Amino acid sequence: MQTISDKTSADEPAGDRFRLRGRDLLPSTAGAALVVSAAGAYLAFTDASSPLRAPFTVVFMVVAPGAAVAWWLRTLEPLGRAVASTAAALATNLLVAQSMLALHLWSIRGGIAAVAGISALLFLLTLVRRPGGRTARRLAP
């Protein structure tokens, strides 16, 4: 016998969409992206001859600045944060590549180091930023 329900996928709470048998998929996906991007950076820096070097390096070039910007914009809704962080990651990569090409300093290792440095700087700036901002200091009337 089949049960018919009025509840659609849009009616589900937001947290239930990313669950698989009671486990959260978001931390698992983030951990997998971290491992793959770290492996990509390692393979590119060591100049290893592996068929996984190019795709893993591309994952690093998108995930590192994307995660840094997503952490910076953590007050936004998840979809808006994903779109903004992906656009910022692509813009970061394009600006680094254009700058290095204009200065005749292009190298694969240099590009990866520059993107990693910018991403680390964005992460550090979020740690330095005051929690709460201006509205937290305002007293209620």
* pLDDT score of 3: 61
Residue 7 has pLDDT above 70, yes or no: no
* pLDDT score of 65: 93
* pLDDT score of 113: 93
* pLDDT score of 86: 93
Q: Which of 23-32, 43-52, 91-100 holds the top average pLDDT?
A: 91-100
Which residue would you say has higher pLDDT here, 27 or 50?
A: 50
Domains of the chain, by residue range, sit at 24-128
- Model confidence pLDDT, tens digit, residues 76-124: 898 999 899 999 999 999 999 999 999 999 998 999 999 999 999 998 9
Shortest CA distance to 38 belongs to which of 65, 72, 64, 70?
64
* pLDDT score of 50: 86
Residue 19 has pLDDT above 60, yes or no: no
